[in-house]
Amino acid sequence: MTTIRDVAKKAGVSVATVSRFLNGSGYVSADAAKAVTEAVEELEYELNPVARSLNTKRSSLIGLILPDITNPFFPELARAVEDVALSYGYTVILCNSDEDPKKEKNYIETLKKKYIAGFIVTSNQLDAPHYADTKLPIVALDRAINEKIPVVSSNNKEGAVLGTNALLERGCRNILFLRGPEALNPANDRYDGFMEAIGKSAVDYRIVTCPFHYADSQKIVERELKANPVIDGIFASSDVSAAGALKAAAILGRNVPDDLQIIGFDGIAMGEMLSPGLSTIAQDVYKMGAIATRILIKRIENKPVEETFYEIPVKLVLRGTTRSVE
């Protein structure tokens, strides 16, 4: 196996010069750089990534911490992060926190020992001090952590206004709003948007807190529809919750969309696969992940980042769970 000493001998330079050139850690003259490049190519030398990380105290690894990979929204985010990271020569390590702060902290401490270059995080906490203490580049994705950490998210409040108005325009007069967990900024923004839109109407409405989980959402909506059969519209804070609502409606024999209309929030691919297809407030999930990754790589490589808050527009996508405007 070719060693760094072989490369140095072939190039006619010192081992230290080869090391500086390969690790980008110091000055190397143009002639020396050319000689080392030619020697590396001729000898087919491959730098051991573990050895490199030991020398530079930094690897080409990015940690991606997600709260729940069973929610289809997050694998779609992960796909974007991985695609962009690979195009820049970085490898992504996926960590599923199960919305557990202790698991998040454990992942951070473990990956720091592996000389991780930086983190992209979707945290379940409004303010996570262990991220501020890492002294590594971090970007928050979908959910803000604190004002010092750049965040990429959707315009959640505006999306909720769009979704609520869509139900109102289609004749709904008794609306059930499935708000997300109160510990999550996006859920709170969607709640604010719903209240802003519903407050300008004269319709009846109910609000129930609902986790972003299919089975839980189904049970909650079954209970609400049984207790309040006049409900004719449901706005869910996530597509997964909306899918649970659609299942509950089917179990109770409620016709969607003729006597019950449903709108979700996310725009995940699963929505098109449901029957009827799910109307939703669509986030540009891929764009969110791609932008977050580019920002992180800029921070890793000490390049300027123009902004610390990126808000991606959303749009209303109408499918089979809503009627035409009356």
Segment 91-114, tens digit of pLDDT: 999 999 988 888 888 998 888 887
Residue 317 domain-assigned (yes or no): no
Quick one: 162 and 267 in the same domain? yes
Is the per-residue pLDDT at 130 higher than 70? no
Q: Residue 196 — very low, low, confident or very high, per pLDDT cuts 50/70/90?
A: very high
- What whole-number percentage of the chain has pLDDT above 70? 91
Instruction: Identify the pLDDT of residue 75.
Output: 93
Instruction: Identify the pLDDT of residue 27.
Output: 80
39-43, 55-59, 129-133, 235-239: range with lowest mean pLDDT: 55-59
Mean pLDDT calculated for residue range 140-165: 92
Distance between CA 155 and CA 142 in Å, rounded?
10
Residue 320 domain-assigned (yes or no): no
Residue 89 domain-assigned (yes or no): yes
Q: Residue 244 — very low, low, confident or very high, per pLDDT cuts 50/70/90?
A: very high
279-283/151-154 β-pairing: unpaired
Range of the domain at 30: 4-47
Residue 36 domain-assigned (yes or no): yes
Mean pLDDT calculated for residue range 149-166: 96
- 12: domain CATH number is 1.10.260.40
Per-residue pLDDT tens digits for 19-73: 878 766 678 888 888 898 898 888 888 765 545 544 544 578 999 999 999 999 9
Residue 54 domain-assigned (yes or no): no
Quick one: 161 and 269 in the same domain? yes
Nearest to 197 by CA among 154, 237, 162: 162
Residue 322 domain-assigned (yes or no): no
Other CB atoms within 10 Å distance of the CB of residue 202: 7
SS (H, E, C) 230-274: CCCEEEECCHHHHHHHHHHHHHCCCCCCCCCEEEEEECCCHHHHC
Quick one: 91 and 36 in the same domain? no
Classify 209 as helix, strand or coil.
strand
Which stretch, 29-43, 63-77, 161-175, 181-195, has highest mean pLDDT? 161-175
Provide the 8-state DSSP code for 180.
-
Instruction: Identify the pLDDT of residue 90.
Output: 92
213 CB-near residues (< 8 Å, 6+ apart): 71, 240, 241, 244
Instruction: Identify the pLDDT of residue 54.
Output: 46
Quick one: 147 and 246 in the same domain? no
Quick one: 304 and 203 in the same domain? no
Q: Based on the structure, what is the number of domains in the chain?
A: 3
Residue 324 domain-assigned (yes or no): no
Is the per-residue pLDDT at 127 higher than 60? no
32-38 long-range contacts (CB < 8 A, ≥24 apart) are 35/11, 36/7, 36/11, 38/11
Quick one: 129 and 107 in the same domain? yes
- 97: domain CATH number is 3.40.50.2300
Distance between CA 109 and CA 112 in Å, rounded?
5
Mean pLDDT calculated for residue range 210-218: 95
Structure tokens at 148: 């010092």
Instruction: Identify the pLDDT of residue 62.
Output: 95
Quick one: 10 and 89 in the same domain? no
Residue 260 domain-assigned (yes or no): yes
